[in-house]
């Protein structure tokens, strides 16, 4: 037998925990187990019709060939228009790139900015892929833990404690996955002033910018002060806003030297994004935007139900998310209890227990570099959320 040894690069990363948990839930479903999955963050709505029609038109017109690596001009212009309209940010198309989802662009941005030995500061809890993407560049992710008491918002003093001359990049993800925190403008400004003074780039991941509740507002950190923009790489995606997860469309905007670097890298990795999806994306950005409000209104109802319900279940608690579609629930009160003779010792045990005893999939906090919590997705129907939480409540009631 061949002794297969993977490269240090790939052996050094873990499979994406959200993709992995979702795969596990889907595999169980295929085996006939009635699993409810609150694992992967994706809208349960269908892609709006006007977007689908643009894709069908593109196919019928034979728009099915390679495009420029960084995207078709029509879509880049739509992105420029959207950034002006929605974010009050002015770019020209040389400062914009289209990628295969936000995830690819995040990696390209890290890889374009970081050398081995550099550091990237990330407030935690944080999105599951940042640390491994950074590891792939040879740089090191350094976590800046936030607290539940402070609603998972980072503060300048904590950033200052960890900043050092090796820090090349800081990551802002607001609204935040997995906490739903929306970072207040004042604190973001204080942090941005410090970073810009210290010539630190900021990757601002804004994929949940439209999913806001109870009056919360999103302002891109790049737009808070004219001096910030040249230090920012704004990363965004159509997946969550337009229920287009499977289409794989994201975009980034930033200084053109950086965008050019990302473009070169993308040219060797994937080439252009699917030509048909690009046409659909241009239509999504320029067409009627009413579907977003309709979806957000639904998410808000589900959020209210999920938060109230989680707080009513003994052993679980959560704060109210202000954005995105996640609840980051504290499960520490379940530690020490026993399921089938096995003691629950950490959030991974709790997630396993939910899956085994209640057939409900959630992602453990450790996947977000933050222990003691599990993440629930509320982009599910109210009926599904109710059923999932009923099952969890029952299973917790049976713990000893």
Least distance from ligand GLU to the Cβ atom of residue 297, Å: 22
What separation in angstroms does the CA of 316 have from each of 39, 311, 337, 350?
17, 6, 13, 11
CA distance 21 to 11: 19
**Taking CB under 6 A as the rule, does residue 220 contact ligand GLU?**
no
Q: Which of 326, 348, 22, 295 is nearest to 152 (CA)?
A: 326
Cis? peptide before 9, omega within 30° of 0:
no
Listed ranges 12-20, 155-163, 248-256, 317-325: which one lies at the site for ligand GLU (CB under 6 A): 12-20
Q: Which of 222, 232, 221, 223 is nearest to 199 (CA)?
A: 232
Closer Cβ to ligand GLU, 15 or 336, answer by number: 15
Backbone CA torsion sign across 168, 173, 178, 183: positive
Closer Cβ to ligand GLU, 41 or 372, answer by number: 41
Q: Binding mask 116-145 vs ligand GLU (x if CB under 6 A, - otherwise)?
A: ------------x-----------------
Q: Which of 254, 238, 215 is nearest to 287 (CA)?
A: 238
**Taking CB under 6 A as the rule, does residue 41 contact ligand GLU?**
yes
CA distance 201 to 231: 5
> Nearest 5°: CA angle at 331, between 325 and 336?
160
Least distance from ligand GLU to the Cβ atom of residue 245, Å: 7
**Taking CB under 6 A as the rule, does residue 177 contact ligand GLU?**
yes
Closer Cβ to ligand GLU, 103 or 218, answer by number: 103
Binders of ligand GLU in range 70-109 (CB under 6 A): 103
Closer Cβ to ligand GLU, 95 or 321, answer by number: 321
Give CA 301 to chain center in angstroms.
21
CA distance 18 to 288: 31
CA distance 153 to 132: 22
Listed ranges 15-23, 77-85, 153-161, 227-235: which one lies at the site for ligand GLU (CB under 6 A): 15-23
Strand order in the sheet with 326-330: 317-318, 326-330, 373-377, 363-364
**Taking CB under 6 A as the rule, does residue 237 contact ligand GLU?**
no
**Taking CB under 6 A as the rule, does residue 311 contact ligand GLU?**
no
φ, ψ of residue 378 in degrees (nearest 5): -105, 20
**Taking CB under 6 A as the rule, does residue 40 contact ligand GLU?**
yes
Closer Cβ to ligand GLU, 95 or 125, answer by number: 125
Tokens, residue 278: 């690009």
Helix (H/G/I), strand (E/B), else coil: 339: strand
**Taking CB under 6 A as the rule, does residue 173 contact ligand GLU?**
no
Tokens, residue 319: 């704060």
Residue nearest to ligand GLU (CB): 41
Closer Cβ to ligand GLU, 248 or 359, answer by number: 248
CA distance 70 to 56: 22
Tokens, residue 196: 């810009």
Binders of ligand GLU in range 356-385 (CB under 6 A): none
Least distance from ligand GLU to the Cβ atom of residue 88, Å: 26
Listed ranges 14-22, 28-36, 82-90, 344-352: which one lies at the site for ligand GLU (CB under 6 A): 14-22
**Taking CB under 6 A as the rule, does residue 330 contact ligand GLU?**
no
Kindly compute the dihedral angle of the four CA atoms of residues 174, 145, 322, 237, in this order, to the nearest 10 degrees.
30
CA distance 206 to 274: 22
By CB under 6 A, the count of residues binding ligand GLU is: 8
Least distance from ligand GLU to the Cβ atom of residue 177, Å: 5
**Taking CB under 6 A as the rule, does residue 16 contact ligand GLU?**
yes
Closer Cβ to ligand GLU, 39 or 280, answer by number: 39
Listed ranges 16-24, 104-112, 138-146, 221-229: which one lies at the site for ligand GLU (CB under 6 A): 16-24
Residue of the chain from 9, 15, 19, 59 that contacts ligand GLU (CB under 6 A)? 19
Q: Which residues make up the interface to ligand GLU (CB under 6 A)? A: 16, 18-19, 40-41, 103, 128, 177
């Amino acid at each position: 037998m061949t002794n297969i040894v993977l490269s240090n690069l790939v052996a050094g990363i873990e499979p994406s925990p959200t993709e992995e948990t979702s795969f596990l839930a889907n595999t169980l479903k295929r085996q006939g187990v009635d699993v409810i999955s609150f694992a992967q963050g994706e809208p349960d709505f269908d892609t709006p019709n006007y977007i689908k029609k643009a894709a069908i038109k593109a196919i019928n017109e034979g728009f099915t060939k390679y495009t420029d690596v960084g995207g078709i001009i029509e879509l880049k212009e739509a992105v420029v228009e959207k950034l002006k309209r929605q974010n009050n940010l002015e770019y020209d198309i040389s400062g914009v790139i289209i990628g295969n989802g936000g995830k690819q662009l995040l990696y390209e941005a890290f890889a374009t900015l970081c050398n081995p030995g550099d550091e990237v500061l990330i407030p935690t809890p944080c999105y599951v892929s940042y640390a491994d993407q950074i590891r792939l560049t040879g740089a090191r992710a350094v976590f800046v833990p936030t607290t539940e008491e402070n609603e998972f918002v980072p503060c300048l003093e904590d950033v200052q404690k960890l900043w050092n001359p090796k820090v090349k990049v800081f990551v802002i993800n607001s609204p935040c996955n997995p906490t739903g925190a929306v970072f207040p403008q004042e604190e973001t400004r204080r942090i941005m002033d410090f970073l810009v003074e210290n010539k630190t780039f900021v990757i601002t991941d804004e994929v949940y910018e439209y999913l806001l509740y109870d009056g919360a507002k999103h302002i891109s950190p790049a737009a808070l002060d004219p001096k910030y923009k040249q230090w920012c790489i704004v990363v965004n995606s159509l997946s969550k806003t337009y229920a287009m997860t499977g289409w794989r469309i994201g975009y980034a905007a930033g200084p053109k030297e950086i965008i050019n670097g990302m473009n070169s890298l993308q040219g060797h990795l994937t080439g252009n994004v699917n030509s048909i999806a690009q046409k659909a994306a241009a239509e999504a950005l320029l067409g009627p935007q009413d579907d977003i409000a309709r979806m957000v209104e639904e998410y808000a109802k589900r959020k209210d139900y999920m938060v109230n319900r989680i707080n009513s279940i003994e052993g679980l608690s959560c704060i109210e998310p202000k954005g995105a579609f996640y609840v980051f629930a504290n499960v520490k009160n379940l530690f020490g209890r026993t399921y089938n003779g096995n003691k629950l010792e950490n959030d991974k045990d709790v997630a396993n227990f939910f899956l085994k005893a209640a057939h409900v999939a959630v992602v453990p906090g450790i996947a977000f570099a933050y222990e003691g919590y599990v993440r629930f997705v509320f982009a599910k129907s109210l009926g599904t959320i109710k059923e999932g939480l009923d099952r969890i409540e029952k299973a917790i009631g049976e713990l000893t």
